[in-house]
Copies of this chain bind each other. A is one copy, B any other.
């Protein structure tokens, strides 16, 4: 409801769009030769910082380290590598994550505790520090005010394109910028499946408010993306806010806080949609909107279940208007609704009414299902809450990519 008043201006620049943020990247041959695989983000002044982390019981070493470093609510740099997840590596994994933080801190001359570490790639392989540390020196040595694009490239794994977003808004008479980058592609599922998200802003905001805003934004974006139902060991999203915009610090709920969190949500949603669209093997973006649910949670559960159903996804790939699978997925989602009241639309074409079949144009439905962006609307007609989830179709290529990933 705040969106209209926000007047968000979309910008290029990603993580370096906000004042005082620099980024660098390097090709360190962590897994492949000649491919950017190390990124460093740096704030010229200490920043309030917050993060959210995978709910997987198995958490990779860099996550455990970053959680520890975030305890103080402050950070100044993030170092990320692709090609190796540094997960399931025992004590050696933690030593290696610490070494990455120490190296980054050394080059940037900041406290080790102000460095957050993230990794993505294959699980259970020792981090090749002999390659990673020189890579960090190179990336941190080449920091640039327009380095966001290269950094976004360096964190890709099976992503086919980099994912960046940035918006500007007015906050207390000041221009505030919020930017970010993300990687997704495989193993992407609600509650942050192998999804890395890095957000930067020059807003002045207290750490606890920043964390609250991040949770709000993630619940509406990253946590509503599903590619294959697997939640990874390495998912995380972190945000740094360095205050250089000069707005009065946001230290509690109020109009500025609400505006800020909507801006952060807009950036995260932009990144989330890109992640869904670029799901492994995806040929189409799936946008599932559940409306008129009794509660927001009901709407979220149902939207995610529909977007995540292998059967719905395969039907979309095959351009088959199989609305029964949509209703079925909503039915097992755990959401409360009356099955006999549900309406279902593919694009603007209504395909089911009151939980039952309806005459509709198969031809038009097939055309809608053939588009780059397939919108499915499920109307529970039982309340006023809604939610949107994003996913992709299930193609032969998904199987191919994941049958051959490690070897």
Q: State whether the Cβ of A200 lies closer than 8 Å to any Cβ in chain B.
A: no
**Residue from B56, B323, B398 in contact with A399 in the complex, judged by beta carbons closer than 8 Å:** B398
Q: Does A399 lie within 8 Å of B395, measured CB to CB?
A: yes
Interface flag for A126 (CB, 8 Å): yes
Residues from 304 to 350 in A contacting B, C-beta threshold 8 Å = 308-311, 314-315, 317-318, 320-325, 327-333, 335-337, 339-340
Contacts of A92 in B (CB 8 A): 356
* Chain A positions 351-393 with a Cβ under 8 Å from a chain B Cβ: 352, 354-357
Given A123-B327, A352-B124, A396-B400: A229 touches B229 (CB 8 Å cut-off) = yes
Copies in the complex: 2
- The distance from the CB of A5 to the nearest CB of chain B, in whole angstroms, is 38
Q: Cβ of A356: which chain B residues have Cβ within 8 Å of it?
A: 88-90, 92, 124
Pair A399/B396 contact, Cβ less than 8 Å: yes
Partner of A123, one of B59, B230, B328, B404: B328
Are B230 and A89 in contact, CB atoms less than 8 angstroms apart?
no
A125→B310 contact, CB < 8 A? no
Closest residue on chain B to residue A233 by CB atoms? B328
Chain A: interface residue total (CB-CB under 8 A): 68
Is A181 on the interface with B (CB-CB < 8 A)? no
A398 to B314: give the CA distance in the assembly, Å. Answer: 9
B contact residues around A82 at 8 Å (CB) = none
Pairwise interchain contact B404-A320, C-beta atoms closer than 8 A: yes
Residues of chain B lying within 8 A (CB to CB) of residue A399: 314, 317, 394-396, 398-399
Q: Which of A40-91 contact B (CB under 8 A)?
A: 55-59, 85, 87-90
Min CB distance A204 to B, Å, is 36
CB of A129 closer than 8 Å to a CB of B: no
Nearest Cβ on chain B to A302's Cβ, whole angstroms: 9
Chain B, residue nearest A324 (CB): B123
B residues near A186, Cβ cutoff 8 Å? 311
Instruction: Please tell me if the beta carbons of B332 and A231 are within 8 angstroms of each other in the complex.
Output: yes
Please pick, from B88, B125, B336, the residue contacting A339 in the complex, using a CB distance under 8 A: B88
A228 CB, min distance to chain B CBs, angstroms? 4
For residue A93, give the distance in angstroms from its CB to the closest CB of chain B: 8
A407 to B314, CA, bound (A): 13
Asked if B407 and A327 sit within 8 Å, CB to CB, the answer is no
- Interface pairs (13), CB distance under 8 Å: A57-B330, A58-B328, A58-B339, A59-B339, A88-B339, A123-B325, A186-B311, A230-B328, A310-B310, A310-B402, A314-B402, A315-B406, A395-B399
New A-B contacts (5) at CB < 8 Å, excluding given A87-B324, A90-B340, A315-B406:
A88-B327, A89-B357, A124-B327, A228-B311, A230-B310
Residues on A close to B: CB < 8 A?
55-59, 85, 87-90, 92, 122-126, 186-187, 228-233, 308-311, 314-315, 317-318, 320-325, 327-333, 335-337, 339-340, 352, 354-357, 394-396, 398-407
The 9 closest A-B pairs by CB, nearest first: A123-B324, A318-B403, A58-B331, A314-B402, A231-B332, A56-B331, A57-B331, A124-B357, A58-B339
